[in-house]
Chains A and B, each alone.
Chain A
Amino acid sequence: MLAVQNLSIEFGGLKAVSNLNLSINSKEVVGLIGPNGAGKTTVFNMLTGVYTPTTGKISYFGEDINGLKPYAITEKKIARTFQNIRLFSELSVIDNVKISYNYRVKYNLFDSIFRTKKFRDEENKIQEESLELLKAFSLDSKKDELAKNLSYGEQRRLEIVRALATKPSLLLLDEPAAGMNPQETKDLMEMINWIKDKFNISVLLIEHDMKLVMGICEKIVVLDYGKKIAEGTPEEIKNNPKVIEAYLGEGA
């Protein structure tokens, strides 16, 4: 489904990521791990069009998508969340979700000025669908709250809902468990598995919590200093000497 070939990016001579190869199949959960500064978020930013890779190719369903703008990549059905939460904090919870419908809204500016039937039908549909989505993540009781007034865990959940509202087939999660306690992390693991089945999508996630990564990923890719040092099933990664060295240092 997603195939990344020889992906590299340089920032003024510094190779942040070099020659990365990566593939994700449909309905697969893939983990991207590595020490701090290994280039994981940079990979995300290249996949979502925030950065344009210096060299390399990203193809999605056989279509070349590198160099596309972030909104165009969302239209191609790749959605993401952010490491440090980036909600539309002064907007209500439901409006946060509704914004994800913008790229495929069927009415134009004139319909909204004159409140045509097309406008009302589409708005009703968006309202209904967003509400249903919020309900699935038990956020519907807070639909009119401002996003900034939600608890930390709810904000993380709303980020996922908002990303899902763009109807992706690949969801990129950037440290979804950051700042969560063990119980919340456990719930999150169940949620990610449930999302995968319910929405029929693949997930690529960056995470430092090894319990989560080992627990739900079918495949794990390890980055260190911008290079891929290992790839395999959780079992293989656990016993890979290179990975142990990267995390714990030589001789450990």
Chain B
Amino acid sequence: MKDILKKSSFKALMAIIAVFALLNTLIQTGVINYYYSGIINLILINVILAVSLNLIVGFTGQLCLGHAGFMAVGAYISAILTLKTNMPLILGIIIGGIIASLFALLIGIPTLKLTGDYFAITTLAFGEIIKVIIMNMDYLGGASGLSGIPIKTKFPLAFIFTVLTIVIISNIIKSSHGRAIISIRENEIAAQAMGVNTFKYKIYSFVIAAFFAGIAGALYSHYIGFLQPASFDYLQSINILVFVVFGGMGSLSGSIISASILTFLPEALRSINELRMIIYPLALIILMIFRPQGLLGNKELSLKIFKNLANRKEDKVC
């Protein structure tokens, strides 16, 4: 058992290194041009956002409509730190994440005790409040935005943070803590009756999700170089939620795939600009009609699925 575990994680590590080496060489040699490498970075940032939101929405079953608010906190905090105090970027990113998770703790304690829609409404309000506060702080550039942030989010950095996010969240989910988190989604009353401190685990999951949203925000601010409060409004929160729903609530690989497709799609459709705003929503509507549970439902993409599919086909032939 242990050997298999080690073997499979070793294989996964090798695969990650191979993907990284391949993409990095292609970017270094210019095969993937500046424009497309930018899109890859944006995809990685969106993957972090989608995976972290999935933890709270898909696994814990608590609808959070303010993920962009945590992203904004991470983005502005890290930007100020690198811009005004010359702090190293990595440190700025991590502090951004920590402050975002502190905000989550602050909102989570009063609201996660309640069940129902209160949490969704409060997080929605939080996102808007953060936006308005930033708009009114001249120190943060106000409504006109904060410019001159050093553009330091390069592919290796974004890639490492994305892999770390996925590994950490997936390791949490595949543990006793993760099972407790999922049991809240499945049946909160039964979870409590089986000894799960549901409030504690809701807080855990929310704080962790906000931490990674903050990190994604920090990566974003050093990718785009210019921050505007309007880019962190509720539409952005909904956008991240769309990644999660599209990929399947409760599926990390689903979130990764959907965030990649839905970030790339609008860029790819740029050449047919008039149709862009039709094709993108149409793709969402079609998916929701034919696969309401999202691309992967709550399953994970693995070699096993392909093997099962192959077996099923063989059965049919027989």
Q: Point out residues on A near B: beta carbons under 8 Å.
A: 48, 50, 69-71, 74-75, 79-80, 82, 86-91, 95, 98-105, 107, 109, 112-115, 119-120, 122-124, 126, 162-163, 165-166
Provide the residues of chain B in CB contact with A86, threshold 8 Å.
187, 189-190, 193
Q: Is the CB of B176 within 8 A of A74?
A: no
Extra 12 A-B pairs, beta carbons < 8 Å, given A88-B191, A90-B186, A113-B172: A69-B197, A74-B193, A74-B194, A79-B193, A86-B189, A86-B190, A99-B191, A101-B176, A107-B176, A113-B168, A162-B194, A163-B194
| B window 160-192: CB within 8 A of A | 168, 171-172, 174-180, 182-183, 186-187, 189-192
Q: Is the CB of B195 within 8 A of A98?
A: no
A105-B176, A112-B177, A126-B176 in contact; A99/B183 too (CB < 8 A)? yes
| B window 1-25: CB within 8 A of A | 1-2, 5, 9
Q: Is the CB of B192 within 8 A of A71?
A: yes
Q: Residue B80 at the A interface, CB < 8 A?
A: no
Provide the residues of chain A in CB contact with B5, threshold 8 Å.
120
Provide the residues of chain B in CB contact with A123, threshold 8 Å.
175-176
What residue in chain B is nearest A89 (Cβ atoms)? Answer: B186
Q: Which of B9, B176, B189, B194 contacts A166 (CB 8 A)?
A: B194
Q: Is the CB of A102 within 8 A of B204?
A: no
Docked CA distance A114–B174 (Å): 12
Q: Is the CB of B192 within 8 A of A88?
A: no
Docked CA distance A128–B45 (Å): 40
Q: Is the CB of A75 within 8 A of B187?
A: no
Task: Choose among B174, B183, B186 the residue with the greatest number of A CB atoms under 10 Å from its CB.
Answer: B186
Q: Is the CB of B204 within 8 A of A109?
A: yes
What residue in chain A is nearest B186 (Cβ atoms)? Answer: A88
Task: Choose among B178, B194, B198 the residue with the greatest number of A CB atoms under 10 Å from its CB.
Answer: B194
Docked CA distance A48–B194 (Å): 11
Q: Which of B171, B179, B192 contacts A98 (CB 8 A)?
A: B179
Q: Residue B143 at the A interface, CB < 8 A?
A: no
In the complex, what's the smallest C-beta–C-beta distance from B268 to chain A, in angstroms?
A: 34
Task: Choose among B1, B2, B176, B180 the residue with the greatest number of A CB atoms under 10 Å from its CB.
Answer: B176
Q: Is the CB of B179 within 8 A of A102?
A: yes
Chain B contributes a number of interface residues (CB within 8 A of A) equal to 31
Q: Point out residues on B near A: beta carbons under 8 Å.
A: 1-2, 5, 9, 168, 171-172, 174-180, 182-183, 186-187, 189-198, 204, 250, 298
Q: Is the CB of A103 within 8 A of B172?
A: no
A102-B179, A115-B171 in contact; A50/B189 too (CB < 8 A)? yes
Task: Choose among B9, B174, B179, B189 the residue with the greatest number of A CB atoms under 10 Å from its CB.
Answer: B179
Docked CA distance A161–B37 (Å): 53
A109-B204, A112-B171 in contact; A75/B186 too (CB < 8 A)? no
A50-B189, A109-B177, A109-B204 in contact; A91/B195 too (CB < 8 A)? no
What residue in chain B is nearest A124 (Cβ atoms)? Answer: B1
Provide the residues of chain A in CB contact with B177, threshold 8 Å.
102, 105, 109, 112
Docked CA distance A86–B194 (Å): 11
What residue in chain B is nearest A88 (Cβ atoms)? Answer: B186
Docked CA distance A28–B254 (Å): 50
Provide the residues of chain B in CB contact with A79, threshold 8 Å.
193-194
A50-B189, A86-B190, A91-B186 in contact; A103/B196 too (CB < 8 A)? yes
Q: Is the CB of A69 within 8 A of B192?
A: yes
Provide the residues of chain A in CB contact with B183, threshold 8 Å.
88, 91, 99, 102
Provide the residues of chain A in CB contact with B168, threshold 8 Å.
113
In the complex, what's the smallest C-beta–C-beta distance from A250 to chain B, in angstroms?
A: 38
